[in-house]
Amino acid sequence: MDFEAIRVDGFPIDDELTDAGNVGPDLSAAMHVYLATPRALVWRNPSPDWKLFVLLLPLASRLSLMANPIFSQLVRDWGHTIRFVGVDRDQCVHDFRSLLTDATLRRLVDALARWLHDSGPRDGLPARAAEAATLDVLFAALGDAMLTILEARRDDWGRHLAREHRLEPGEPGSLFDRASRYPDFLAQLHHALRHELLDVATYGRVLRSIDLREAAAEQRAAAMIEGTLEPVTLVKLGRTRAGRHLGCYNWLLTNPRHAAQRAYVLGRLPLFAQCFADTLIDATPRRRTGLVAAAEHDARAALLPDDARFALRQAIDSGQDRWVIEALATHFGVQHNVLRALWRHCPVALQAPPTWHLKQILLRLNELPERVWPRDDAGWLQLASRSVPAAAG
C-alpha cells in the first residue's frame, strides 16, 4: 500500500501571513492551519479489492472545537464538505459520502486531529499513527456496509456508485468544491482587510496564491483518480462532450457490451449527462411474466409498460436513434419534436443540469414552438433560469 497526503504548495507571501506581528494572531493561526491541512489523503491499493481511496478534506480549523461533544452540529456541518471516493478492482468509482454517519465523523475527527498535533513528521508527512487511524475509520465504514470484501457485498452496493461529480477542477459539479473547503480562512482574510491588517494589494496577492495552489492540488488529486480508471472507457467518455463525469463513466463501464451505444447517445445529448447517471446506472428489469418472457425475440414486447427506467435503458442500448428519442420524450412527458430538435443541436451553455432542472427545461421547451427557441448561450441560460418553478426560487 502506498500513501500520500496532498498539500498546497508554498508561496513567498506565506512568510508575511504567518507572522503574527504583521497580520495579527488570528490570521496567522488560520494561515498555519491552511498550510498544514492536507487537501487530500490518498491510499493506493489499500486492499486487494480496492485500487484507490481518496479522502478530500476541508481545512482543519475547527478540529479542536469539534473534539468537544457539545459541538456535534459543527461535526455534522464539517462532514458535509468531506468527499470519500473509492475505486474498486473493477475500476468503478464509488462515492461513499452516505457512509459518513455522525459516529463515523466523530471517529474521523479524532483521527484527523493527529495530522496537526502529532509530533515527529518524516519527509513532510505526518506520523504513521495518524495515517493508520484514519484508514481504520474508513475501512470500518466500508465494513458496516459489507463493502470490504466485494464478493460478500450486499445487493444494494450499486447505490454507492458515483453519480454526481466531475473530475475537472473549477467546473460546475466538480468533485473539488473549493468554496466549501476553507470558509474560516476566507473569513479571517476578510476580517484582516476590513481592519486594515492587510492592504488591498496584499489581499489580491493572497487570493491569486490561493487560486494557483488550490488548482495545483486539485489537479494532482484528479490525476491520481484518473490514473486508476479504465482507459478505453475514458476515451469513449472524452468523445461525448460530457467531460470526465464520474456518473457517466460508471454508466459506460458497468456494461461494456453497450458502452459504444451509450457513448453515442451521450455525445448527441450531453445535456442529459446527469440524468443518465441518476436514472440508468441501476436500471434493472422487474420480474417478467411468462407471457412477456415468451416475447424475447422482440425487445419492445419484452418490456413491461410500467418499468420506464428499464425501457429507457433498453432504448439507449439498442443503438436506434428513433427509439431513443421516443423513449426520452415519453420518459419526460414532452413531444417527440422537442427531443428531435435537441438531438440535432444540443446547447453547450446548459452544461449538464440536475435531473429535476432538466425536466423543467424540457417542459418549458415543450410549451414553445421551435422557431422561438434561444439562438445563443445567453438565451439558453435565461430560459433555464425561467424554467425553475416559483416554489423552488
**Concatenated DSSP letters for 277-289?**
HHHHTT--PPPPP
Position 127 scores a pLDDT of 53
**What distance in Å separates the CA atoms of residue 26 and residue 191, rounded to the nearest whole number?**
10
Q: Which of 65, 92, 94 is nearest to 77 (CA)?
A: 65
Q: Which of 311, 307, 305 is nearest to 324 (CA)?
A: 311
**Concatenated DSSP letters for 328-390?**
HHHHHT--HHHHHHHHH---STT----HHHHHHHHHHHHHS-GGGS--SHHHHHHHHHHTS-G
Strands in 83-88's sheet, in edge-to-edge order, are 2-6, 40-47, 50-56, 83-88, 93-95
Q: Which of 172, 140, 150, 192 is nearest to 49 (CA)?
A: 150
3 bridge partner residues: 43
When computed from its CA atoms, the radius of gyration of the chain, rounded to whole angstroms, is 24
Position 184 scores a pLDDT of 80
Three-state SS at 19:
coil
Q: Answer for the pair 99, 142: CB distance below 8 angstroms, yes or no.
A: yes
Say which amino acid occupies 382: Q
**What distance in Å separates the CA atoms of residue 277 and residue 166, rounded to the nearest whole number?**
12
∠ CA 321-327-330 to the nearest 5 degrees?
140
Neighbours of 370 (CB within 10 A): 10
**Residues of the chain below pLDDT 70:** 61-72, 115-129, 283-307, 390-393
Q: Which of 387, 312, 325 is nearest to 357 (CA)?
A: 387
Percentage helix, strand, coil for the chain under 3-state DSSP, each rounded to 5: 60, 10, 35
Q: Cβ-count burial of 194 within 10 angstroms (0-12 exposed, 13-18 middle, 19+ buried)?
A: exposed
Position 231 scores a pLDDT of 95
Span 50-79, pLDDT tens digits: 999 999 988 876 666 666 666 667 777 777
DSSP 229: S
Position 117 scores a pLDDT of 58
Q: Answer for the pair 157, 138: CB distance below 8 angstroms, yes or no.
A: no
Phi, psi values for residue 56, rounded to 5°: -90, 130
Position 60 scores a pLDDT of 74
Q: Answer for the pair 53, 42: CB distance below 8 angstroms, yes or no.
A: yes
Q: Delimit the domains of the chain by residue range.
A: 2-226, 231-392
Say which amino acid occupies 253: L
Span 82-130, pLDDT tens digits: 899 999 999 999 999 888 888 888 888 878 777 665 544 444 445 566 7
